[in-house]
């Protein structure tokens, strides 16, 4: 089974801190994604990557950056954490580029609280 | 941003009831429609990926139908059990047909609670 592993399940950070959320997948998937989930809003795409060192902005990239130095690892960076970034963050991967006729594989999520 | 709408937002049913909910999506340029189940404290899990108009897929007591011409999909659960309690998400490819990189736009989800 493909696994997507997120480094932390729960995280509490202070306003202004730089925060790194790590995601690793073990099945050579090309695409990796970062979403955040907030009540009533569903999953919203922050950034995604379709190849090593490649990144594309999603729908809500402001305040975030990403890094993909190796195919299996996709990091989300909060440059200066703010309270409105308190959320559940989900990493996902998918097999190939193009029309997604395969389902995503998700990590178990990181619940980040910024105080 | 695509509009992918799910209804209802939440649903409470008794054990043994059958239930269904809806996902609406743009009917033009259809390529695929995904359904996921997200149980508390677990990862979202892919249930179905549907690609053809009239498609019906089944997994145990859960089934889904697809109407691409009118832009909706139904998810049915027969004889609901407490372990079916979860958030059910549908998703639709974003910018499909152009330079698509497999991005999905998700609906806001339907939260199902099955009471024993």
pLDDT in tens, A57-86: 999 999 999 999 999 999 999 999 999 999
Measured between CA atoms, how close is B27 to chain A, in angstroms? 16
Give the residue from chain B lying closest to A5, CA to CA: B43
pLDDT the model gives residue B97: 47
> Which tokens is A42 given?
């569903």
Per the CB < 8 Å rule, is A97 touching B101?
yes
**From B32, B42, B44, residue closest to A101, measured CB to CB:** B32
Residues A25-47 have a mean pLDDT of 91
Residues A4-12 have a mean pLDDT of 94
Distance between CA A45 and CA B106 in Å, rounded? 9
CA A4 to chain centre: 11
Distance between CA A51 and CA A39 in Å, rounded? 31
Residues A29-45 have a mean pLDDT of 91
Residues of chain B positioned with their CB less than 8 A from the CB of A90 = 43-44
Residue by residue, DSSP assigns B60-114 as TTEEEEEETTTTEEEEEESS--GGG-EEEEEEEESSTTSS----EEE---EEEEE
Measured between CA atoms, how close is B46 to chain A, in angstroms? 6
Residues of chain A positioned with their CB less than 8 A from the CB of B45 = 106
pLDDT the model gives residue B95: 64
Distance between CA B6 and CA B24 in Å, rounded? 6
Q: Give how far Cα B87 sits from Cα of A68, B4, B41, B58, B94, Å.
A: 30, 15, 11, 18, 21
Average pLDDT over chain A, rounded to an integer: 92
pLDDT exceeds cutoff 50 at A87 = yes
* pLDDT one digit per residue (tens) for chain B, 116 residues: 568 999 999 999 999 999 999 999 988 878 889 999 999 989 999 999 998 899 999 999 999 999 999 999 999 999 999 999 999 999 988 765 445 557 889 999 999 999 99
**From A43, A48, A59, residue closest to B1, measured CB to CB:** A59
- Residue B23: partners with Cβ closer than 8 Å, 6 or more residues away: B4, B5, B6, B33, B35, B72, B73, B74, B75, B90, B107
Interface with B, mutate which of A6, A30, A42, A108 (most B CBs under 10 A) = A42
């Amino acid at each position: 089974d493909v696994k997507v592993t997120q480094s932390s399940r729960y995280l509490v950070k202070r306003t202004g801190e730089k925060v790194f959320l790590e995601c690793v997948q073990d099945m050579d998937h090309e695409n990796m994604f970062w979403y955040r989930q907030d009540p009533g809003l569903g999953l919203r795409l922050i950034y995604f990557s379709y190849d090593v060192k490649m990144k594309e902005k999603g729908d809500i990239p402001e305040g975030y950056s990403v890094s993909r130095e190796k195919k299996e690892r996709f990091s989300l960076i909060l440059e200066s954490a703010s309270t409105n970034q308190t959320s559940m963050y989900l990493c996902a991967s998918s097999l190939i580029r193009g029309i997604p006729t395969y389902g995503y594989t998700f990590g178990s999520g990181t619940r980040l609280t910024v105080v | 941003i695509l509009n992918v709408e799910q209804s209802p937002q939440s649903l409470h049913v008794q054990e043994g009831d059958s239930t269904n909910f809806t996902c609406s999506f743009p009917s033009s340029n259809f390529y695929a429609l995904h359904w996921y189940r997200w149980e508390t404290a677990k990862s979202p899990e892919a249930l179905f990926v549907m690609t053809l108009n009239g498609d019906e897929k089944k997994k145990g007591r859960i089934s889904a139908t697809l109407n691409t011409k009118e832009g909706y999909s139904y998810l049915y659960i027969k004889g609901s059990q407490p372990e079916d309690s979860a958030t059910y998400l549908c998703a639709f490819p974003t910018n499909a047909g152009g330079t698509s990189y497999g991005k999905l736009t998700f609906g806001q989800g339907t939260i199902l609670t099955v009471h024993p």
